[in-house]
Structures are given as C-alpha cells and as structure tokens.
C-alpha cells in the first residue's frame, strides 16, 4: 500500500507540472495574439487618421484653388471698376505659395491652412461689398456722364441749328444783296455813228453798244464793284481781246474770259451803265448773248442778232 501511494504522488506532481506548462503557453499565446490584435488596431487607427488628414489637406488645398480663382475674378472686376487691387494681389501671391509648397500633411498644417482659408473667405466677402459700392458709384457716374453727354449733345444740336440758321441767313442775305442788271438795250454803231437796234447786219457794226441799269437793292451795301460783260456767240465762244480791255475772272471755281469791264461805286440809285466794244473784225451771222457779271455771280443777260 505504501509503495502504491508513493508512486502515485510523483505522477500527480508530474501531471500538475504539465498542466501549468500548458496554461503558461496558452497565456503566452494569448498575450502575443492580444499584442498582435492591439498593434493591428493601432495601425488601422493610424492609417485611418493619416488618410483622414490627407483627405482634409486635399480638401483644404482644393478650397485654396477655388479661392485663387475667386481672387482672380475679384481682381479683374475691381480693376475694371477703378478700385484698389493691392490687397487682393498680395493675398493671391500667398495662396499661390501655399499651393506650390509640398509640405507633409499634419494636423498643425491643416489647422494653419484652415485659418488662412477663413481669412481669405472673409477678405472675399469684404471685397464683394466693395465691388457693390464701386458698382453703385460707377452707376451714378455713368448716369451723370450720360446726363452731361445728353446736355452736351442737346447744346451741340442747338449750336448747330443756330449755325445753320446763321449760315442760311447769311446765304439769303448774300443772295438778296446780289445786284441785278435790267432794261437791256443793245445797239450797233456804224462808222458814221448811226445807232441801230437788233437785228442788224455785220457791215453795219463798227462797235457794239450795251446799255443796262442796275436794279434797286436796299440790302446791297454801297461799295465798289467791277462789272463785266461777256459777248458770247452761238458756239459758246467768248469774244475777247486783251489788247482791247478784255480779261479773266473766276466763276464757279473756273477761270473765264470777259469781253469788257467797268469799275463803279454802287450807290443804289438805279445807275445806268454803257459799254462800247470795238471788236476790230466783222461779226459772223447768228444770235449773240450779252452776259453781265460781278464778283462771282451772273447779274443778267440780253441778246442781239447779226444777219
């Protein structure tokens, strides 16, 4: 009995020792598993946090891109309205530097960027208000300018109308002041000083005598006048001879010949003028016109016939 009891005791101890060894190994395994699980969860959390940080950075950078675009728009609009763009240009330069930087995403960086984004957004809001004020001012200025231009145009139209009336009046006065030749009497004077009325024969003409009077004109000023006559044949050819007192004058912008002339003082007394012209050769048969001019206008005309 004693031997059996002593044998059982070592076997029980051995069994207990194995049990504790197994328990120890299990605990080690559990501890390792727990560590692996914890490390895995911690890694997942870190990766998740890093991914979230990267996402926040990307979102913030995207907002900075949008702000840059808005700044460009505001700069263009304010510049067009005549406002100061210095502050906006400075902000744009800062944004461009932020966008160009390749900084690693950190919570601190994102916080700084978010703070700047808020500042830029506030600046954009203030500039929106400034733009509205500038638009209002420009609208008022445009209205004033439009009013001034309208008044200027109206004044210009009034001046133009007055100038036209003045010009028309001057034209009427000039036209009204033109002298008229009337009561024509054209005679042929023979070698024996005998006068004949038209028609007359060529052999009866030693000289042509042209008489006419100046019509009364209360508008015309009393002044010196050069009165010219032109004797024109059927072919439109002017009879002239410089050696016998003929010359040229300007009519309708063109130089024309005259047959004879006189310089008188027009005194509005219905003066009678007489011209004697010796052609120096025989007249061809036909109907001749006698035209009277002064300055640059035709005063009147008469005719005679040579058979």
> Structural domains in the chain?
2-126 (no CATH), 181-306 (2.60.40)
pLDDT for res 294 = 94
- Residue whose C-alpha is closest to residue 234's, from 179, 285, 158: 285
The enclosing H or E element of 98 equals helix 86-100
Closest to 96 (Cα-Cα) out of 70, 133, 62, 65: 65
pLDDT of residue 229: 96
pLDDT number for residue 13: 67
Range 133-137 contact pairs with CB under 8 angstroms and sequence separation of 24 or more: 134/78, 134/81, 134/82, 134/83, 135/81
Residue 190 burial (CB count, 10 A): 15
pLDDT for 102 equals 63
Beta strands in 122-243 (DSSP E): 181-189, 195-197, 207-214, 223-232, 238-239
- pLDDT in 10s for each residue of the chain, 307 residues: 455 555 556 666 667 777 888 888 888 888 787 777 776 666 665 555 555 667 777 787 788 888 888 888 888 888 888 888 888 888 888 878 877 776 666 777 777 777 778 888 888 888 888 888 888 888 888 788 888 788 888 877 777 786 776 565 455 556 678 999 999 999 999 999 999 999 999 999 999 999 999 999 988 999 999 999 999 999 999 999 999 999 999 999 999 999 999 999 999 999 999 999 999 899 999 999 999 999 889 999 999 999 9
d(CA 16, CA 22): 10
What pLDDT is recorded for position 174? 61
SS3 230: strand
């Amino acid at each position: 009995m004693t031997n059996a009891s002593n044998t059982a005791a070592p076997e029980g101890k051995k069994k207990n020792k194995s049990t504790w060894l197994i328990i120890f190994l299990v605990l080690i395994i559990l501890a390792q598993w727990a560590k692996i699980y914890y490390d895995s969860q911690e890694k997942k959390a870190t990766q998740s946090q890093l991914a979230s940080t990267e996402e926040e950075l990307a979102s913030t950078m995207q907002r900075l891109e949008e702000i840059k675009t808005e700044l460009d728009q505001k700069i263009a609009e304010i510049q067009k309205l005549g406002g100061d763009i210095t502050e906006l240009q400075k902000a744009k330069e800062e944004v461009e530097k932020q966008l160009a930087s390749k900084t690693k995403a950190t919570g601190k960086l994102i916080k700084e960027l978010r703070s700047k984004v808020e500042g830029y957004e506030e600046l954009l809001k203030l500039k929106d208000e400034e733009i509205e004020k500038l638009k209002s001012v420009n609208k008022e200025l445009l209205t004033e300018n439009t009013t001034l231009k309208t008044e200027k145009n109206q004044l210009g139209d009034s001046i133009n109308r007055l100038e036209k009336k003045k010009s028309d009046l001057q034209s009427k006065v000039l036209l009204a002041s033109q002298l008229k030749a009337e009561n024509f009497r054209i005679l042929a004077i023979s070698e024996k000083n005998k006068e004949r009325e038209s028609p007359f024969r060529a052999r009866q003409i030693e000289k042509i005598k042209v008489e006419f009077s100046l019509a009364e004109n209360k508008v015309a000023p009393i002044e010196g006048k050069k009165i010219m006559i032109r004797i024109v044949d059927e072919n439109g050819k002017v009879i002239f001879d410089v050696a016998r007192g003929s010359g040229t004058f300007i009519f309708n912008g063109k130089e024309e010949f005259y047959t004879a002339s006189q310089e008188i003082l027009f005194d509005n007394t219905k003066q009678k003028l007489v011209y004697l012209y010796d052609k120096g050769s025989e007249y061809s048969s036909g109907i001749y016109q006698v035209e009277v001019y002064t300055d640059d206008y035709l005063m009147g005309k008469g005719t005679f016939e040579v058979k």
